Amino acid sequence: MSVSTAAVDQAICTPLPVLGRDVTVPLVTGGEVGYAALDYAASAPALQRVWDDVAAYAPYYGSVHRGAGYLSQLSTDLFEKARETVAEFLDCRADDQLIFTRSTTDSLNLLAQALPADCQVFVFETEHHASLLPWKDARVSYLDAPRTPHQAVETLERALAARDPYGPALVCVTGASNVTGELWPVRELAAAAHAHGARIVLDAAQLAPHHPVSVRDLDVDWVAFSGHKLYAPFGSGVLAGRADWLQAADPYLAGGGASRKVSRREDGGVDVEWHDSAARHEAGSPNVIGAYSIASACKALTEAGFDTLVARERHLVDLVRAGLAEVPEVRVLSLFGDDAPRVGVLSFVVDGWNSSHFAAALSAEYGIGVRDGLFCAHPLVRTLLGTAPESQGECGAPEASPGEKSLNAIRVSFGAGTPDEHIERFVAAVRELVTNGARWTYHTENGRCVPAVN
């Protein structure tokens, strides 16, 4: 049975229900307006489906792996089935391990402490700090920002060709930039890594909410992502992939759950036998609601269909890009060029405006929430900006020291729950602010640009 074009168009135009879609916020100019949440890249709103699933489970909450009671057994079963659901969502290999963590940052720090001795790590300067900084105990090579996907692969191949060929090596790369939204050539980078005897970990924090992620198809060794970017609340994350390095490493945290057997020695010390399973790195009482919420989000996105979700997001990206292109004062930041495929994340600067001032005006006068600053990717944003505009507006950026010219950008990000109206209001607000200026006075307070009290 064929699907009509009208049905497809309707699916593309219909956002998934998310929490907060009916929230109104006050405007400094008077009245209230429905809040336009356009900061998905930091934390996406929870899907209504996820919230409903968690609410239905909440009365049955019990200790996991700890009790003989019915609720404990139910919660343990739910926790382990959540692991299976997420592994299926990621298309993991049969012998991969999936560990529940607190976030992408936590996942990559866990992997960093599990690296074999004398491991070499290769990471582009374009990474989010979560994947740029955890490798302090390894030999790290920071690679310059590429200007095309092909250049990214060539840069990595040259670096790997020059490395010590006998020791272990790891490549860390993002799937989609949290600054530009641009998609990276993950499959090609994985092939380059494996050709030179290295492994690769994919930071999928910005990719997994927008595109399907297959560990098998991309041929990555590990993948990490956060629940709070995948429309799931509760501070949870995932590290999934090869088990050998994880099993050989000391537990990420020492404590109950990670240990299989603990006994006293005659000399007064303690002997510990650690688990070889994912439990080895999940010490303490696990965040069962966080794990369940991620699994629920994975099911919801799979059922919605990534073909539809991707088509809808391309529609929203086209709306934003077309609208900003009509404002000459706006410069959209990009590594790979304006035509590079991207997820729903765009960063830009506006001539004559400090980005913090512009973001504050969007919020206070239009009810639009975006992000300003360097987005926890300082080297990348500084590379993309080069120099700051001479005219900086009324407020300084939170990262600027007293007397320094602030260097920051504005980021708009959106996804499966974003209605067209939010994008249209954002584009209209940008045009109006550039043309007419802010209608309110702003100043810096506690490092943030805020509306002055008139």
Instruction: Quote the tokens at residue 351.
Output: 């001539």
- How far apart are the C-alpha atoms of 34 and 20, rounded to whole Å? 9
395 is catalytic: no
Rounded to 10 degrees, the C-alpha dihedral 411/187/123/381 comes to -20
Q: Nearest-CA neighbor of 364 among 450, 303, 430?
A: 450
Active-site residue, selected from the candidate residues 13, 92, 298, 376: 376
Instruction: Quote the tokens at residue 309.
Output: 């979700």
Any idea which residues carry the catalytic annotation? Answer: 376
